[in-house]
Amino acid sequence: MEANSKSVLRPLITAGVVLGIGLGGFVDGIVLHQILQWHHMLSSVRPPTTIAQMKVNMVWDGLFDAATWIFTVLGIYLLWQAVQRDDVPRSSNTLFGSILIGAGSFNVIEGIIDHQILGIHHVKPGANELIWDIGFIVLGAILVLVGWVLIQAAKKGDNAIA
């Protein structure tokens, strides 16, 4: 790719990051909130020990899911806009790397703000909850790093798709 590859990759990277934030949130909400039921959005401040408290948590989980849906739809829209441009290279490394950066950033930001600063919930409350929370943040950082490596490979001209 040419010297200005950063500017022509930006629309694809932006789309992938936004899409990754939405998808990362969906994985969190579906796997941790619904399937495993380890926590809900407010489970540390409104423990779901009664039907009324569970309903409050379900509403907040729904609002969280709605926000991740909006990010996902916006990411798809931005991706559509990016691939319509002739000057934006279609690169699977760039797209998947950006998605990983978005999903990883979601974990890092949500893990620091919701789990540590606000304390509204933890990944897996109880014994070793700090270890679970740190693991969530570290996983996010690893996803960001892998995503960055994929984008760097794309900038060197690897893995362009038509």
Domain-located, residue 160? no
In a domain, 161, yes or no: no
DSSP secondary structure of 85-151: -TTS--BHHHHHHHHHHHHHHHHHHHIIIIIIIS-S--SS-STTHHHHHHHHHHHHHHHHHHHHHHH
Number of structural domains (the chain) is: 1
Are the C-beta atoms of 40 and 123 separated by less than 8 Å? no
End-to-end CA, the chain = 15
Q: How confident is the model at residue 159 (pLDDT cuts 50, 70, 90)?
A: low
Query: Could you tell me which residues come within 8 angstroms of residue 159 by beta carbon, excluding any fewer than 6 positions away?
Result: 91, 92, 93, 153
In a domain, 162, yes or no: no
Domain that holds residue 44: 5-155
| Residue 31 resides in a domain | yes
pTM: 0.90
Continuous segment of H or E residues that includes residue 17 = helix 5-27
Overall average pLDDT of the 105-125 stretch: 96
Query: Which range is least confidently modeled, 3-12, 25-34, 131-140?
Result: 3-12
pLDDT-derived band at 6 (thresholds 50, 70, 90) equals low
